[in-house]
């Protein structure tokens, strides 16, 4: 008889814009695949056809005057669809799911950055996301000024080279103080949930950060 496959593992990557999350996610996915694991890579906002439409609305700097509550609601709309269409099926099939941002981003950016508070975010997560919790969250931590400078330069390059009708710059236009609050929000989550969240120093070379991430994954998940 075929054995029922065991539930997979859910790993999220978090951090300020420009901390190198996408690079680290690619490196971790490659390392896990090479070790024989089935890996699914995905991201938020987005990750599904509907979610990618919502992402355009959220990140396009042409989206003017979006209220903080509407912004939070759209983040959760994308997430609820992502859970139903991608995350739950992939976990049920036994995959390791690597997700670039999840509800901690909403708590840090909307809860702390936009000052909506943590409680509404955690309540919506219970109602709309069945309180799905990552098995491990890697928080890439670095200096807000340096990360933001990187994110802005990258997005300017992408906007120019692709000559696109939309861009992904809306959040990068926020003030330094906003990103300082976002970072504080993240660090507060890490203090509250030390069993789930590992803070990784992301200020070294990509190789060094990758090494720290591999250690955390081995230690926490024994993969």
183 binds ligand TYD, rule: CB under 6 A = no
98 DSSP β-pair partners = 11, 41
Angle formed at CA 104 by CA 155 and CA 56, multiple of 5 degrees: 40
141 binds ligand TYD, rule: CB under 6 A = no
Min separation Cβ 121 and ligand TYD, Å: 9
List 10, 24, 42, 44, residue binding ligand TYD (CB under 6 A): 44
List 8, 10, 12, 17, residue binding ligand TYD (CB under 6 A): 17
Tokens of 105: 């981003």
Binding pattern for the stretch 145-164 against ligand TYD, x by CB under 6 A and - elsewhere: ------x-------------
Min separation Cβ 105 and ligand TYD, Å: 4
> Candidates 86-94, 105-113, 127-135, 191-199 — which segment interacts with ligand TYD by CB under 6 A?
105-113
Tell me if 17 is assigned to a ligand binding site: yes
SS3 of residue 183 by DSSP: helix
Distance between CA atoms of residues 58 and 63, nearest Å: 7
Min separation Cβ 79 and ligand TYD, Å: 7
125 binds ligand TYD, rule: CB under 6 A = no
Tell me if 118 is assigned to a ligand binding site: no
Question: Considering beta carbons, is residue 17 or 167 the nearer one to ligand TYD?
Answer: 17
Q: Which of 13, 5, 30, 9 is nearest to 137 (CA)?
A: 13
Contact 98, 39 (CB under 8 A): yes
SS (H, E, C) 55-72: HHHHHCCCCCCCCHHHHH
Give the burial string for 85-94 (b: 16+ CB within 10 Å, else e).
ebbbebbeee
Residues flagged as binding site for ATP: 15-22
Residues that bind ligand TYD (CB under 6 A): 17-18, 21-22, 44-45, 59, 75, 100-101, 105-106, 109-110, 151, 171
């Amino acid at each position: 008889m075929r054995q029922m496959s065991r539930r997979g593992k859910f790993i999220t990557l978090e951090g300020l814009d420009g901390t190198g999350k996408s690079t680290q996610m690619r490196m971790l996915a490659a390392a896990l695949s090479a070790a024989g694991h089935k890996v699914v890579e995905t991201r938020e906002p987005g990750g599904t056809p509907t979610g990618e439409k919502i992402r355009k609305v959220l990140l396009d700097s042409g989206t003017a005057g979006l209220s903080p509550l509407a912004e939070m609601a759209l983040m959760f709309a994308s997430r609820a669809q992502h859970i139903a269409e991608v995350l739950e099926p992939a976990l049920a099939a036994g995959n390791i799911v690597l997700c670039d941002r999840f509800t901690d981003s909403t708590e840090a950016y909307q809860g702390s950055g936009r000052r909506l508070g943590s409680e509404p975010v955690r309540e919506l997560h219970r109602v709309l996301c069945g309180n799905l919790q990552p098995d491990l969250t890697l928080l890439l931590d670095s200096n807000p000024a340096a990360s933001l400078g990187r994110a802005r330069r990258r997005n300017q390059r992408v906007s120019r080279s692709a000559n696109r009708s939309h861009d992904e710059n809306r959040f990068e236009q926020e003030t330094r103080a906003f990103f300082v609050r976002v970072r504080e929000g993240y660090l507060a989550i890490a203090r509250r949930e030390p069993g789930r969240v590992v803070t990784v120093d992301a200020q070294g070379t990509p190789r060094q950060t990758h090494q720290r991430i591999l250690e955390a994954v081995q230690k926490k998940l024994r993969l």
